[in-house]
Structures are given as C-alpha cells and as structure tokens.
Amino acid sequence: MAVEEQTNTIPLLDQLDTKATKRIGDITVANVTEDLMVHKPPISFEEIPGPALLKLLDKYWKYVPLLGTQLFRSVLINRLTEGRLTWNRNIRPLKYLFNEYGPVVRLNGPFAGDIVLIHRPEHIAKVFEEEGDSPTRSGIDVLQHYRLNYRKYRFSGPYNSQGLQSMQWLQTKKVLETPIAKQINKEFEKFEMACDELLIRIRQIKNRQDEVSGDFSNELSRWSMECFWIFMISKKIGFLDSTSYNKNSEITRFIETLATAHHYMSRCETGFQFWRMIDTPYSKKLFSACDIIDGIIGKYIRNAQSHVRNNLSMHEDENQHRLTILENLLFKQRMNPEELATLLMDMIILGVNATTNSQAFLLYYLAKNPRIQRRLHEEVISKTPKDHSFTSKTFIDMPYLNACINECLRLRPAFPYITRLLSKQIILHGYKIPKGTYIIMANQISSQREENFEDPDKFKPDRWLKSSDDSYPQNSYLPFGKGIRNCIGENLAKLEMMLLTIKIIREFIIEYDYADIESRFLMMNVPDRPLRFRFISRN
C-alpha cells in the first residue's frame, strides 16, 4: 500500500476498545490498537468539492478570472460565487470558496487542467514536501508571451521557468547565495544613502500640514529601485536625485514605465485574454512599456559587459570578490544577456514593486497604531543612536522592528498565493490529487485564520515576540514562499524595509488621517488609496 494511504488511516469509532483506556490530563481516552485501525482508501479526485464544471463556451463570457492563466482557465468568479460577489480584484472570492466547499476546493478547468485550492498549514506542508527538485510555479503568462512570442527570446524568466531552464536557474540561485549575502553587507553605506535621500525628499515635498501628496508611492518606488540597482551593480543610479525628477529624464521615464507595465500586466492577466490571439490595446501598452524597460536594462547589461572586459582579467577565483551581482551572473554563471534581461525585468516588475508596496503597508500600519509606533521608536533610539553605523548585525538586536515587519507581511503579503504544479500524485485531506494539478496555496488566508493566529485581523507585532512554544503553526505564514523556489530577494527586501523604517521613525511621527487603506489585487497586494501620510518632525 502506498505510504500516503497509510497516513490516512483512522480508527473507526465503533471499534474502539472502551475498556482499555488511558488518561491524558483530565480526559480518559480509549486506547487504539493497531488491529483496530482500518485503512480508508483515498477519495477520488472527482469527489473533491468545488463549483460545478462549466462546459459551455458562451457562458464563459460572463465570468472574470482572478489570476493568471492557470486560474484564468478555471476561476469563473461570478458563477462560482453564484453572483454574490462582484469582480473586485481581491482575495475575498477565494475565502468564499473555502467557506462554501471546505479546506480543499477543486476548480474544474473547462479548457485545461484542474486547480486545487488549499489553505491549511498541514496541506501546504505536504505540497512542499513533495515538490521535488525542480518545482514549477504558475507564472505571469503575458510576460512569457512577450518574451517568447513578441521578443523571440529563448527563456521566459525565473517566475515562469520549467524543465531544463528551471534546473539551470535553480543551480544559479544556489551558487548566488554567498555573493548575495556578501553584497548586501558590503553595500550598507549606499543603502543608507538611498534611505537618507528619501528622507530629504520627504522634507521637501511635505506641505505645511506635514502631508505628502497622493503619489508618495512613486517616491517609495524610486527608493526601492535605487536599492535594487545598488544590490545589482554596486552603484547609485540617482533615482532620488533632484535632477532625476525632470519630466524628460530617463529615470522618470523608467519609474513611469514601471507603473504602466505593472498596470497593464495586471489588466492582461486578469481580463479575458484576447492577447493570446491578437494584440489588444492593453497588451500593446504592456509590450511597449516592457520594450522601454528592456532597453534600459540592456544598457546596464552592456555597461557591465564592457566594464568587465576593460577592467578585469577574468581569472576565475582571483577576481570573484570584485564582481557585482550583475557581472557575476554574466561572467561567472554565464547567463546569456537575453536571459539576464528577463531575470532583471521580473525582479523589477515583481520584486521591486513588492518591496515598494510592503513598505507602503508598513508605514500605514504604523501610522494607524500610534502606541506601536511609540514602542518601535523607543527600540530604534535605544539600539541605533544618531551616530550609529549600521551593519547587518544591527537588525538582529531589534526584535520589535522585526515583529512589525512580520506582522505587516502577515496581513498584507505582497503575493497572497503561492502556486506549484504537482510533479507527482499526492493525498491531501484524504483526496487523491493527480500529478499535473495546479495547487494554489492561499498564504494570505492561512495567515489570517483564527486557528493559526489569535485576533487575526489585528496588527499586533507582539505576537512575534512570544517564545517559540506559542508561535504560529509552521507553513501558515510564508510571505517569501518556501523550498527551493523561494524568494531570492528576501534578505534584500527586509534589509531595505528595516533601514528605511528606522530612519523614518527616528526623524518623524507618521500619521494618516483618511479612510482605511485596504489592498487591491494587481497581481500582488497594492494599497487601494493614495498614501497621504503626515510626517511630523520629532524635533
């Protein structure tokens, strides 16, 4: 019998030997002996509850898909929720499905493979246990389309990679661990400078009531982009320099184009996907934004190529420590420039944007919780006095700051779902789930369920300070994913967020006076209102 089947063995109640008992605390329980165990065969895939199959193509027009392709094929929100939910681009439809059908929900794909939605930590654990050594995740199909069909690239990026490409990428990712850690440590000073520049900018742009304008997210975007390039090429590009705000500057164009690309990527992925057949107004806008981003990225790649050719003799180990991450990818990992361009674009459109939005939510939660902000300020001034020189060790000794970031990512993980394509059959909750099924792990839902986190809707950083005995169930909180396809930028993103938060809190009290900011799902959680924070000087 398969191992999976044995683990689903349960005793039948009417076969319990009630005389043979033992005590656990105040409770008397019947002993269950091996010979009383019965083996329940797994339940077939077809029996997993879920909304009924939609076969008729014409009905399809009524429905709006939620996520990228895999979901597009199946999630027909309006029908699935029997009209009770309108298309609002957030996580509620999935919550509804779990409430309606239980912890394992199957969505039949009228056009392609089925999808299974899960949220329980033990089910998520099982998927990761069985993910194999080259897991595949659902990618951003419209970006894949752009690369493979429009640009005729060979490779569609790490978020999409499968098969051999996936193996190559995972190899590269492993080798990069040490250079990435070194790079983050080495460039502290520059990361600090980027944060200081954002503070200067805040002082300049806030009005007489200390309020910044609605497009403060644009400033955060410049800051996280500056940090990203420091990380990649060890240089400050100047995203926050006053000259770069000029309407015609390349930097302004880059930032605006990034926002455009994000907007239309989300439109293309979540609307009806005509772009698969013909160029649509949205896909045209997305592709021309991607062309601009690709062009700028290409320039950095060419600079790195000529820098290495001109300045370094490439005798392997000798010069390894002098290579930037970008140069390392090009010359040590021998990534071809096309592949590198796709990697950088994904990192920018997804990773840099994720950092921007996570930082925005963090500032919002601090503004809405003045007591928490006060306590954080106390930790900040005691651990990082004015002349403090920052190193990666600074943050280890700041449990409350860490707790605030964890709590923000619990409530607003940048990516509310993690996906995997099953590489083999598994049993979940007694159901047999075949190889090739897409599993959607609703990370945001599991980190907001009462059984995993007490008072789940409240911003309570204290919960992260408890001893490990009281902590949350494993796999109920995975903002950076898990396993070998986890986020490569986790340490960078956390460092950026910590450094900027320290600097802001040291200088300002943050306030926010308007309606609550919720999240909107634009392929990631994005604040649904302008970030009109007040930054009140502490002096």
Q: Does 147 bind ligand HEM (CB under 6 A)?
A: no
Q: What are the tokens at 227?
A: 């940090």
Minimum CB–partner distance for residue 395 and ligand HEM (Å) = 15
Instruction: Identify which of 448, 415, 446 has the alpha carbon closest to the alpha carbon of residue 522.
Output: 415
SS3 459: coil
Give the span between the Cα atoms of 283 and 296, in whole angstroms.
Answer: 20
Of 10, 363, 420, the residue nearest 219 (C-alpha): 363
Single out the residue of 103, 96, 97, 102 nearest to residue 120, CA to CA. 103
Q: Is 401 in the site for ligand HEM (CB under 6 A)?
A: no
Nearer to ligand HEM, 173 or 263 (CB): 173
Neighbours of 457 (CB within 10 A): 9
Which residue in 537, 501, 493 sits closest to 379, CA to CA?
501
Q: Which is nearer to ligand HEM, 42 or 416 (CB)?
A: 416
Figure out which of the listed residues 98, 415, 431, 508 binds ligand HEM, where binding follows CB under 6 A. Answer: 415
- Does position 481 bind ligand HEM by CB under 6 A? yes
362 binds ligand HEM (CB under 6 A): no
Using the Cα atoms of residue 433, residue 439, residue 444 and residue 445 in order, give the sign of their dihedral.
negative
Task: State which of residues 485, 499, 500, 512 lies at the interface with ligand HEM (CB under 6 A).
Answer: 485
Query: Closest approach of Cβ 452 to ligand HEM, in Å?
Result: 18
50 versus 489: smaller Cβ distance to ligand HEM: 489
Picking from 146, 153, 78, 186, the residue whose alpha carbon sits closest to that of residue 335 is 153
Q: Two tokens at 338?
A: 């096309």
Tell whether the torsion through CA atoms of 348, 349, 353 and 354 is positive or negative. negative
**How far does CA 281 lie from the centroid of its chain?**
28
Stretch of 194-202, 392-400, 480-488, 509-517 lying at the interface with ligand HEM (CB under 6 A): 480-488
Question: Which amino acid type is present at position 157?
Answer: G
CA proximity to 537, closest of 197, 198, 206, 191: 206
Minimum separation from the CB atom of position 258 to ligand HEM (A) = 13
Answer yes or no whether residue 351 interacts with ligand HEM by CB under 6 A: yes
Q: How many residues bind ligand HEM (CB under 6 A)?
A: 25
Residue 290, marked binder: no
User: In terms of Cα–Cα distance, which of 423, 427, 422, 421 is closest to 2?
Assistant: 427
Q: Which tokens belong to 362?
A: 């963090």
- Closest approach, Cβ 520 to ligand HEM, in A, equals 16
Q: Which stretch binds ligand HEM (CB under 6 A): 189-197, 238-246, 348-356, 444-452?
A: 348-356
As a whole number of angstroms, the distance between CA 527 and CA 320 comes to: 41
Residue in 372, 414, 440, 522 binding ligand HEM, rule: CB under 6 A: 414
361 CB burial (10 A radius; 0-12, 13-18, 19+): buried
Q: Interface mask (CB under 6 A) for ligand HEM, residues 191-230, using x and -?
A: ----------------------------------------
| Interface pick for ligand HEM out of 146, 223, 364, 480 (rule CB under 6 A) | 480
| Burial class of residue 190, CB neighbours in 10 A (0-12, 13-18, 19+) | middle
Which listed range, 29-37, 55-63, 387-395, 478-486, lies at the site for ligand HEM (CB under 6 A)? 478-486
From 68, 121, 158, 416, residue interacting with ligand HEM (rule: CB under 6 A)? 158
Least Å distance, CB 495 to ligand HEM, is 10
Minimal distance, residue 399 CB to ligand HEM, in Å: 19
* Residue 137 binds ligand HEM (CB under 6 A): yes
CB of 224 to ligand HEM, least distance (A): 7
173 belongs to the binding site for ligand HEM (CB under 6 A): yes
Closer to ligand HEM by Cβ: residue 489 or 527: 489
109 scored as a contact of ligand HEM (CB under 6 A): no
Q: How far is the CB of 526 from ligand HEM (least distance, A)?
A: 12
* Minimal distance, residue 271 CB to ligand HEM, in Å: 23
Among 107, 265, 296, 347, contact with ligand HEM (rule: CB under 6 A): 347
Tokens 């592949």 sit at which residue? Answer: 339
Q: What is the 3-state secondary structure (H, E, C) of 297-363?
A: HHHHHHHHHHHHHHHCCCCHHHHHCCCCHHHHHHHHCCCCHHHHHHHHHHHHHHHHHHHHHHHHHHH
CA 76/CA 372 separation, integer angstroms: 41
534 binds ligand HEM (CB under 6 A): no
Annotated binding site for heme: 487
Task: Tell me which residues touch ligand HEM (CB under 6 A).
Answer: 137, 158-159, 173, 347, 351-352, 354-355, 358, 414-415, 418, 479-483, 485-489, 492-493
